């Protein structure tokens, strides 16, 4: 049986133990923090002073940690310099709450007139401003897919600015276009397809079927079709059957093929066409094709029973008007439109030029092209991605980039100290001691 007075003594001892524990932990933390603070130097820099600070950090000063706040995407040199600091042992923290994810890509167009396809990605609704070395080219709000533009051949590199971020891209190679081969019966579509492509600058060979006794041939037309000579074969109608197997082989070897509705029934094309069948013909309305929607009035043979790997490129209402697929290493594009010549002849003021552009775009989507590498130009096509790649994740929104370093009381320590002091205080109060 415990002796009288042993209970209160034990309680007093416990209270002392709790008190000592709390103070010991606090003391340990303070000593540790003082020791760390004495050894470590944290430097901060705003964007405007970054270049100067980088020089200082790399020469006279050697901080263990740097915290950088970026107002816009840093130049590649600054980014790499920060990366080098990190590689040399300095912990680099950064933040840039105003920086929007932006990327830009440029590709040469398969078009004898040259030109560059530009695709810029940005958050939906953000204004994307495109510039080249001579100045601003234009701006547009980003859609779900970003912003796309076709620029003249003279443009070799493009910057896309979105808020404080500027992404840049330069052409890496140029295209070497081959000739085109058009096969079709003597008729307006064949004639105007050849004319439009030649006017655009393509070199066109043609086999125009006129009669069993004699055809009209243009260029050095032979039975053999290969990618050393041709980029694309255009099969305007079923007369292409005479080249059927050659064309199918040409596609599998990397060549491009454009099929008009009348050519879709050729047996040799059954294995390569994006659509297995054509729907019921929708007749030409006879109306004048407008410049804004010229193909709305053209005769249409809807593409149906598309192959699994076919990609729909254009619809008219619910009908598939243009589709494409890969076959081997080549590509096939199938048109549902017939008699596009009506657009050129009867359309609005710009119809001939728009028709040429459209046909060139159709051909360019499947064209086999050799590529010639251009001298590289240093650009950053996705600045934020490059920053993440070089420096890791930024401080989260509202957090200081050097937050988390030194002076912070760890949560568990705070909890244990608090629990000890509360238990000690409660014990004393229960005993009636203040």
- Whose tokens are 């070799």? That residue is 156
Secondary structure (3-state) at 118: strand
Answer for which of 76, 83, 101, 187 binds other proteins (CB under 8 A) is 187
Q: Can residue 339 be called a binding residue for other proteins (CB under 8 A)?
A: yes
Q: Give every strand in the sheet of 65-69, ordered side by side.
A: 42-46, 65-69, 91-95
Q: Which stretch binds other proteins (CB under 8 A): 139-147, 150-158, 202-210, 396-404?
A: 202-210
Answer for which of 262, 334, 369, 381 binds other proteins (CB under 8 A) is 262
Nearer to other proteins, 186 or 372 (CB): 186
Binding mask 205-224 for other proteins (x = CB under 8 A): ---xxxxx-x-x--------
Answer for which of 338, 354, 382, 391 binds other proteins (CB under 8 A) is 338
Shortest distance in whole angstroms from residue 125 CB to other proteins: 42
Q: Which stretch binds other proteins (CB under 8 A): 7-15, 278-286, 322-330, 401-409?
A: 278-286
Nearer to other proteins, 209 or 387 (CB): 209
Say how many residues touch other proteins, by CB under 8 A: 33
Q: Pick the closest to residue 322 from 312, 309, 310 (CA basis).
A: 312
Q: Can residue 185 be called a binding residue for other proteins (CB under 8 A)?
A: yes
Per-position b or e across 336-356, b if 16+ CB within 10 A of its CB:
bbbbbbbbbeebeeebbebbb
Burial label, 317 (beta-carbon count in 10 A; 0-12, 13-18, 19+): exposed
Secondary structure (3-state) at 280: coil
Q: Which stretch binds other proteins (CB under 8 A): 4-12, 339-347, 399-407, 418-426?
A: 339-347
Q: Pick the closest to residue 366 from 407, 423, 323 (CA basis).
A: 323
Shortest distance in whole angstroms from residue 109 CB to other proteins: 24
- Non-local (6+) Cβ contacts of 375 within 8 A are none
Shortest distance in whole angstroms from residue 360 CB to other proteins: 16
Secondary structure (3-state) at 88: coil
Nearer to other proteins, 89 or 286 (CB): 286
Answer for which of 102, 121, 166, 190 binds other proteins (CB under 8 A) is 190
Contact 68, 89 (CB under 8 A): no
Q: Can residue 299 be called a binding residue for other proteins (CB under 8 A)?
A: yes
- Non-local (6+) Cβ contacts of 390 within 8 A are 79, 80, 82, 83, 86
Contacts with other proteins, residue ranges (CB under 8 A): 185-192, 195, 199, 208-212, 214, 216, 237, 262, 283-284, 286, 288, 299, 338-339, 341-342, 344-346, 351-352
């Amino acid at each position: 049986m415990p002796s009288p007075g042993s209970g209160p003594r034990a309680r007093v001892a416990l209270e002392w133990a709790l008190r000592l524990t709390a103070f010991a932990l606090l003391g340990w933390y303070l000593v540790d923090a003082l020791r760390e603070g004495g050894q470590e130097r944290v430097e901060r820099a705003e964007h405007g002073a970054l270049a100067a600070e980088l020089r200082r950090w790399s020469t006279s000063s050697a901080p263990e940690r740097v915290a950088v706040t970026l107002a816009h995407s840093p130049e590649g040199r600054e980014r790499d310099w920060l990366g080098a600091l990190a590689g040399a042992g300095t912990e680099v923290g950064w933040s840039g709450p105003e920086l929007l994810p932006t990327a830009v890509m440029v590709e040469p167009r398969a078009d004898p007139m040259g030109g560059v396809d530009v695709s810029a990605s940005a958050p939906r609704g953000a204004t994307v401003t495109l510039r080249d070395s001579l100045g601003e080219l234009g701006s547009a709000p980003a859609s779900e897919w970003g912003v796309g533009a076709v620029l003249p051949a003279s443009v070799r590199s493009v910057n896309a600015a979105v808020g404080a971020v500027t992404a840049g891209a330069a052409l890496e190679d140029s295209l070497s276009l081959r000739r085109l081969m058009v096969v079709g019966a003597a008729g307006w579509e064949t004639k105007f397809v050849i004319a439009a492509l030649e006017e655009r600058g393509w070199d066109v060979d043609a086999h125009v079927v006129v009669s069993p006794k004699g055809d009209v041939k243009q260029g050095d037309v032979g039975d053999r079709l290969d990618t050393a000579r041709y980029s694309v074969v255009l099969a305007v109608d079923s007369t292409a059957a005479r080249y059927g197997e050659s064309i199918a082989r040409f596609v599998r070897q990397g060549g491009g093929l454009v099929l008009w509705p009348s050519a879709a029934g050729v047996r040799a094309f059954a294995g390569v066409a994006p659509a297995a069948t054509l729907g019921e013909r929708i007749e030409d309305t006879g109306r004048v094709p407008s410049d804004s929607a010229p193909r709305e009035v053209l005769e249409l043979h809807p593409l149906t029973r598309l192959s699994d790997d076919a990609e729909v490129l254009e619809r008219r209402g619910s009908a598939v008007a243009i589709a494409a697929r890969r076959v081997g290493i080549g590509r096939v594009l199938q048109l549902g439109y017939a008699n596009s010549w009506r657009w050129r002849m009867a359309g609005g003021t710009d119809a001939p030029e728009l028709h040429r552009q459209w046909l060139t775009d159709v051909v360019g989507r499947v064209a086999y092209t050799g590529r010639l590498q251009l001298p590289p130009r240093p650009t950053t096509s996705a600045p934020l991605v490059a920053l993440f790649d070089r420096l890791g994740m930024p401080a989260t929104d509202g957090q200081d980039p050097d937050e988390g370093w030194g002076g912070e009381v760890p949560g568990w320590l705070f909890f244990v100290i608090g629990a000890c002091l509360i238990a000690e205080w409660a014990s004393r109060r229960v005993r009636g001691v203040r």
